[in-house]
Amino acid sequence: MANTASAIKRVRQEAKRRARNHAVKSRMRTFIKYADSAIAAGDREAAEQAVRTAISEIDRAASKGVIHNNNASRNKSRLMLHLNDLAQ
């Protein structure tokens, strides 16, 4: 347990940040799942819109530092690969 006032404050700050980061990451994962299911359904228009939204969420998470930039790039690349496979 934290003993000093600064340590107690740090615990409070970390809890807030953890909750915020969890919300951003969870939202990102949800939109990735939406995009994957739209691609699996085979509807090109809906899949493009879902992928565009998912990429936006991925970029938002990366800009906030919730995920690493390389992680964001990898996720976006994989989404685009699946979307491009749908076109063929």
pLDDT band for 1, please (50, 70, 90 cuts).
confident
- In whole angstroms, give the CA distance from residue 28 to residue 38: 15
H helices of 1-88, in order, are 5-41, 44-63, 69-87
Percent over 90 (pLDDT), the chain:
91
User: Per-residue pLDDT for 11 more than 90?
Assistant: yes
Provide the pLDDT for residue 77.
98
- In whole angstroms, give the CA distance from residue 40 to residue 49: 14
User: Per-residue pLDDT for 87 more than 80?
Assistant: no
Domain annotation for the chain: domains and CATH numbers: 5-87 (1.20.58.110)
Measured CA to CA in angstroms, residue 22 lies from 29, 60, 74, 80 at distances of 10, 13, 20, 25
Percent over 70 (pLDDT), the chain:
99
User: Per-residue pLDDT for 86 more than 90?
Assistant: no
